[in-house]
Each structure stands twice: as structure tokens, then as C-alpha cells.
Chains A and B, each alone.
Chain A
Amino acid sequence: KAGVTQTPRYLIKTRGQQVTLSCSPISGHRSVSWYQQTPGQGLQFLFEYFSETQRNKGNFPGRFSGRQFSNSRSEMNVSTLELGDSALYLCASSPGLAGDSYEQYFGPGTRLTVT
């Protein structure tokens, strides 16, 4: 089975621009979660989607948004980029509902640099 894939792997943007990151979960997985990882803050939960619905959202501003398609692929969008948005963005998929204690499988991440 192919693992979680994320595209692009690396991205450089300038302040004020917007960016869209993509995540394809493991085949058959219906839940996709997004995380931001920075040296200072560690790994932080952004949001989770299940069956095209946002299940929960972490403490991030409204500039961070996402969506999930009927094939479970998910996209994350960050608008009006700030320098502090530079981070590794990780996506994780799991077979079932978020609250049902399913194991999550992480993708390789997208390294975003904002200049």
C-alpha cells in the first residue's frame, strides 16, 4: 500500500502571498489531519477532516484553512503569508474517525519557507 504523500515537498514564498499544500492519504483512509512543526513550538495540530467535513481546529488564525475532497485527498491553504509561517507542514491519515483512537500515518511533510 502506498503511504501518505504530500506535495510539494519544498516551497519558498514571499510575505503576503498565499500557498496551497496537498495531501493524499493512504488508500481507504478517510481521516486527514494537518500539523505545523517548528523548532520553537514543536508539533501543533491545525485541523482534521473526515468525510469532507472539518472535525476540529487547533488554535491557528483564520488565514489557515483546508478542505477535503470526496476521494479523501486534502488541501491546506495559508493566505497572507507571514515569516512565522515558515515550518514543516505534516499531514497524517487514519482509517476511521478521529476520536476512535485510530493510528495515524504521517506523510513526509512540506517544508515551507517564507522570505
Chain B
Amino acid sequence: EDKVVQSPLSLVVHEGDTVTLNCSYEVTNFRSLLWYKQEKKAPTFLFMLTSSGIEKKSGRLSSILDKKELFSILNITATQTGDSAIYLCAVRTSYDKVIFGPGTSLSVIP
């Protein structure tokens, strides 16, 4: 059965800290891995990764995929209170299925 696992499920850090969120997956016919940030309602897109070893970067956020070991990490440097959210990892398969992980709830305290 296809599955996506995220760790940790919950994290509390202080402003300025650097955090690493993990996502591992077991799916048939992997197509791409996506990271989303969900604050109150709808998830907002962060990154889409399809190739191993190529880092995607956007400001203080970066992500990389390892297709051999079947995982991805999302890094956030110099965290701010506005980074508090649930971070969702999802994997899309070639059969057009999307499987979401349970999410990591990040709380950044001043």
C-alpha cells in the first residue's frame, strides 16, 4: 500500500532556530514529491521535486529529494513566528494518485 510518513509530527522551536522536516515514502511509480504549508485553511504550495540531489530554494526554505533512499527534507533557516504552520508532504504517482503524509506541526515561539 502506498504511504507517506513525516517526522516529527510536532515541533516547537524558538525564533532564529533552523529546523529540518522529514518525509519518507513508499509508493509504486513515483512521479514527484510536493511540499505544502497549511496555516489556517488551504495548503499553499512550496516546492515540487522530481529529481534526486537537486536542491530547490525559496528564501529561507529549501528542499531536496533522495529517490534512492526514498525521502525528502525541508529545511527552514532563521525561523520566524510566521513559519508556524502544518507542513505537508505529498507524493504524486504516475497513475495520477496523490498521497499526503500526516503533516508536521511547527510552532515557532518568540
Instruction: State whether these chains interact.
Output: yes
Residues in A lying within 8 Å of B, measured CB to CB: 4, 33, 35, 42-45, 48, 55-56, 58, 88, 90, 97-99, 101, 103-109
Complex Cα–Cα for A99 and B103 (A): 23
A87 to chain B, nearest CB (A): 13
Residue of B nearest to A98 (CB): B96
Partner of B95, one of A43, A97, A99, A103: A99
Q: Is the CB of B50 within 8 A of A101?
A: yes
The docked-state distance in angstroms from the alpha carbon of A55 to that of B93 is 12
- A35 to B92 Cα, complex, angstroms: 14
Chain A residue at minimal CB-CB distance from B103: A42
Within 8 A of A (CB), among B1-60: 31-32, 34, 36, 41-45, 48, 50
Partner of B48, one of A98, A101, A107: A101
A-B contact pairs, 27 of them (CB 8 A): A4-B42, A35-B98, A35-B100, A42-B100, A43-B43, A43-B90, A43-B100, A43-B103, A44-B100, A45-B97, A45-B98, A48-B96, A56-B96, A56-B97, A97-B96, A98-B92, A99-B93, A99-B96, A101-B92, A103-B34, A103-B48, A105-B45, A106-B36, A106-B42, A106-B44, A107-B42, A109-B42
- Alpha-carbon distance between A105 and B34 when the two chains are bound, in angstroms: 12
Which residues of the other chain, B, contact A33 by a CB distance below 8 angstroms?
98
Contact B32 A101 (CB under 8 A): yes
A108 touches B42 (CB 8 A): yes
B43-A106 in contact (CB<8A): yes
Q: Which of B83-97 contact A (CB under 8 A)?
A: 88, 90, 92-97
A34 CB, min distance to chain B CBs, angstroms: 11
- On chain B, the residues within 8 Å of A97 by CB distance are 96
Contact A55 B96 (CB under 8 A): yes
* C-alpha spacing A90/B43, complex, angstroms: 9
Q: Report A-chain residues with C-beta under 8 Å of the C-beta of B103.
A: 42-43
Bound complex: CA of A98 vs CA of B95, how far in Å? 9
A43-B42 contact in complex given A58-B97, A98-B96, C-beta closer than 8 Å: no
Complex: A47 Cα to B36 Cα, angstroms: 19
Question: What is the bound-complex CA distance between A107 and B102, given in angstroms?
Answer: 20
